[in-house]
Chain A
Amino acid sequence: MTGLALHGDLWMGADPLIRGLALDMPAGRWSCLLGPSGIGKSTIARLIAGLPGPQRLNGALRTDDGQPLSGRVAMLAQDGQLLPWADLVANVTIGARLRGAPPDIARARALLDLVGLAGLERRRPAALSGGQGQRVALARVLIEDAPVVVLDEPFSALDTATRLAMQDLAARVLAGRTVILITHDPLEALRLAERAWLLGTDGALALALPDSPAPRDYRAPDLLSAQAALLARLQGVAPCDA
């Protein structure tokens, strides 16, 4: 189990992006960063994943077990992660091959089955729908078996019904891991998060969440009222009161 604590100011090259971040993301839980486009959400994802870029943290990113994060993070991005020339099994096992380890074909098949793609193992990504493509990417995340999983706008390119189904699936298969979900969709944050923050240039504001366990039913009254309050706040018609 690996919890994360991200504290400090986030910079993009010479420009300040978000000041005064104080995010404590507990181990084995879903933490959600909600924010408008361009605020620097993906920059935080890259920071946690240890990916190169112009981002810089004037502060510290710590793990609660004291071990470095490197090599213990898997990431699911919005799109473009699949290899168009390879079939689904090869797409799921690419991580092992990139590390020079023997690919575990049987496990890849089992995971493809788990995410609902049984029978499509020999297909190429071009023959899949957007939702199916993200299921493959999710199976790849699962085979890596990383304690920390960053979901960077994972379902933003999907239609609403598919998105809801993918949220349920992700909640089920990623249960028990430290998940950092980055999204601009208030409903997604409210359905899945166990901790949630609204990102602004002046820091992250903790959001009040319904008490029911995630993934929450989008028809439940507590979720609907939380969504109404959050939408009003995003539009600026209600004061910040978290």
Chain B
Amino acid sequence: MRRLNIAPVRAALALGMALAIWQSVIWLTGVPRFILPGPGRVGMALWDNAPLLAEHARFTIVNLLTGLAAGVALGVATALNLALSPGARLMLRPMLIFAQAVPVFALAPVLTLWLGYGAASKIVIVMMVIYFPVTSAFFDGLMRLPPQLADMAQMMRATPLRRLFLLQVPHALPAFFSGLRLSVVYAPFAVVIGEWVGSSRGLGYLMLLTNGRGQTELMFAALFVLAGMSLFLFTALEQMAR
């Protein structure tokens, strides 16, 4: 109970401290508000533009979650196939290593060219960012079954499929979650970069637009929504992993 109570208190304290430093920087340096607006102004921009922000946030989060789900599903399927079939390992692993060497973010313009300005290009870029770490972490976990358990499967004459789902998958779950945790950090970057490259909706688009128009408060407000979204995603994942 104590720990549960203390964590939010600590978080609130840290947030308060950050806001105080932010405000003092503005008071001390006299930065003009179109360069760096104070927390109060950003808060007001958040409040005043709540419907607008919510609309763009919805576009961004739907793409983020869809890409996440697709990336996880595809990554899990690939890893299971690789673990089950030596033939697939022979064929797919070199391709995976090669594909992993391509910087996914650099593909954003290409994806926009191929898939257009809508949701598809954002979903695909998020999917790709999630897919590789999830596949390789889960696959490594699947292949690292302790020898004693591999012996047991052999002695119990388990079929490859039963061995996979009763021993390898549960053993690989921690590895899977560490891969997912790693990739979930990058997923919001991916969706924003996708929107920067070409979009007419979403928080990334809103940031570019407001930046161009000198609406710095609103740009910061969008940034905050985005940060909150990432934080929520990460915490939800931590809860799931336990």
The residues of A with any CB-CB pair to B shorter than 8 Å are 46, 49-52, 71, 73-75, 77, 79-81, 83, 85-86, 94-95, 97-100, 144
Contact = CB atoms under 8 A, between A and B. Distances in A.
B166 A99 contact: no
B173 A85 contact: yes
Given A80-B146, A80-B148, A98-B162, A75 B170 contact: no
A80 B171 CA distance: 13
B170 A97 contact: no
Contacts of B151: 46, 49, 51, 75, 77
B170 A83 contact: yes
B218 to A, nearest CB: 48
Given A77-B148, A85-B170, A100 B154 contact: no
Contacts of A98: 152-153, 156-158, 162-163, 166-167
Contacts of A99: 156-158, 162
Contacts of A86: 170
A52 B154 contact: yes
B241 interface: no
Contacts of B148: 77, 79-81
A140 to B, nearest CB: 9
B154 A80 contact: no
B159 interface: yes
Interface in B140-190: 146-149, 151-159, 162-163, 166-167, 170-171, 173
A94 B166 contact: yes
Nearest to A97: B166
A81 B152 contact: yes
Interface of B: 146-149, 151-159, 162-163, 166-167, 170-171, 173
Given A83-B170, A85-B170, A100-B162, A71 B157 contact: yes
Contacts of A74: 155
Contacts of B159: 100
A49 B150 CA distance: 13
Given A50-B154, A94-B156, A98-B167, 7 more contacts: A46-B151, A80-B149, A85-B173, A98-B156, A98-B162, A98-B163, A99-B157
28 contacts: A49-B151, A50-B155, A51-B151, A51-B154, A52-B154, A73-B155, A75-B155, A77-B151, A79-B148, A80-B147, A80-B148, A81-B149, A81-B152, A83-B149, A85-B170, A85-B171, A94-B166, A97-B166, A98-B157, A98-B158, A98-B162, A98-B166, A98-B167, A99-B156, A99-B157, A99-B158, A100-B162, A144-B156
A99 B156 CA distance: 6
Given A77-B148, A83-B149, A83-B170, A97 B155 contact: no
A149 to B, nearest CB: 11
Please give me the 10 A-B residue pairs with the lowest Cβ-Cβ distance, nearest first. A98-B158, A80-B148, A98-B156, A85-B170, A95-B156, A81-B148, A51-B151, A98-B162, A80-B146, A77-B148
Nearest to B158: A98
B156 to A, nearest CB: 4
B170 A51 contact: no
A83 B155 contact: no
A83 B146 CA distance: 10
A181 to B, nearest CB: 17
Given A80-B146, A85-B173, A94 B155 contact: no
A97 B161 CA distance: 12
B152 to A, nearest CB: 6
A233 to B, nearest CB: 32
A97 B166 CA distance: 8
Q: B146, B149, B151 — which one has the most chain A CB atoms within 10 A of its CB?
A: B151
A52 B151 CA distance: 8
Contacts of A83: 149, 167, 170-171
